[in-house]
A = this chain, B = another copy of it.
């Protein structure tokens, strides 16, 4: 009889993970994929390519949780020892799987090549293992199971191989072993711009305390998410509380909310521009292309982005945007007057419906008492009017630049929304 699973542990394998040469991104993907099934990751152990360490980690993981997923160590080299180690834990040997080998041979033959002999090792799998196909690589996914120890799933380390097998094979396989009555988390996400995490936390305060909803504030450098979680057996059971929670957050935070799904601000701005049939041009000094870069991350940005001008040197501000030398001399490159002329010049030059302009002091040098590092002037031109805003962003050069780019995008979003009211 199979146990009903509620917990699982991850065992990540590879010297490169311990030495710091590689950052493990697989564990987060696994946790986020399994959580909606009602399966919680309760521990992760990272070990090197050492058979005894792998075996010990898998064994204690199975003792605690009854289920484990390993990542890595399924390659063709001598370093790759996960299969033998896990087979040992289950008191089994490995067996050469002729069917898998022939399938690999056929795949390579279709590309007109012969498969290297070294790959044979990758189809010497723990005896009796269930095999999951790997469309993107030569190492199969595997599951070994017995009634006494539980289930151990083995996945290859390269993320693009791992993710496919996890999603297409492992999630359904493990999902069948989770009890139907298991409580699972159902989530909503609310994404904000232009408001600090502490301000969000203060305003939301305990105003959701009467709902059976967990509230998490997730700060990033340039935006802050609110994650709302309700636990239940199914969607219906939780949607009432979640709807009410989202509704209250909406009323509390208003136009600071730019999306109720996991999309970037630039993408939300793109969607808004496309809906309204507006085009945009950018005029960037300290952000130097970051806003244009973000706006073009989603495909199809040519629907709304005309292009832009990176005016890092003051000569470029004059030549490309027609900012007057007198304005630069009198008020400086980081001033309301300059950012306004930048926006107006970019509008004339491009003929775009809207313009975002940014000029600021990203640091670490260049600050003064009057205009310290982090001082940024933003402008948005829409139709015949220009709005400007002064910001003081904290953080390193990188952070100031990222925040300034986000600030410019958010000012455009708000200006377009205002315009529509």
Spell out A's residues near B (CB within 8 Å).
Answer: 17-25, 27-32, 35, 40-48, 53, 57, 216, 218, 227, 279, 281-282, 284, 286-293, 295-297, 299-302, 305-313, 315-317, 319-320, 349-351, 362-366, 397-398, 401
Contact = CB atoms under 8 A, between A and B. Distances in A.
Contact of A32 (B20, B46, B284, B305): B20
A305 B53 CA distance: 51
Contact of A289 (B27, B40, B293, B350): B293
One complex includes copies of this chain to the number of 2
A307 B316 contact: yes
Contact of A397 (B227, B299, B308, B362): B299
A47 B43 contact: yes
Contacts of A48: 42-43
A291 B310 CA distance: 11
Contacts of A312: 292, 296, 301-302, 305-308
Contacts of A296: 286, 288-289, 312, 401
B308 A398 contact: no
Contacts of A288: 289, 292-293, 295-296, 301, 305, 307
A363 B298 CA distance: 10
A42 B52 CA distance: 13
- Among A27, A41, A48, A296, the most chain B Cβ lie within 10 Å of the Cβ of A296
Contacts of A216: 21
Nearest to A160: B396
Contacts of A31: 18-20
A364 B297 CA distance: 11
Nearest to A295: B288
- Among A20, A42, A227, A349, the most chain B Cβ lie within 10 Å of the Cβ of A20
Contacts of A350: 316, 319
Contacts of A17: 44
A362 B227 CA distance: 33
A341 to B, nearest CB: 15
A85 to B, nearest CB: 15
B292 A291 contact: no
A311 B307 contact: yes
A393 to B, nearest CB: 15
Contacts of A46: 27, 43-46
A43 B35 contact: no
8 contacts: A17-B44, A19-B35, A43-B57, A288-B292, A288-B293, A288-B305, A299-B364, A299-B397
Contacts of A397: 297, 299
Nearest to A53: B43
B41 A44 contact: no
Nearest to A26: B20
A183 to B, nearest CB: 15
Nearest to A227: B21
A316 B398 CA distance: 28
A307 B315 CA distance: 9
A41 B27 contact: no
Given A289-B290, A293-B289, A349 B363 contact: no
A28 B19 CA distance: 7
A362 B57 CA distance: 42
A279 B310 CA distance: 14
A313 B306 contact: yes
A302 B309 contact: no
Contact of A313 (B23, B32, B57, B305): B305
Contacts of A18: 31, 40-44
A317 B307 CA distance: 9
A315 B320 contact: no
Contacts of A30: 20
A318 B27 CA distance: 48
A327 to B, nearest CB: 17
A38 to B, nearest CB: 14
Contacts of A22: 28
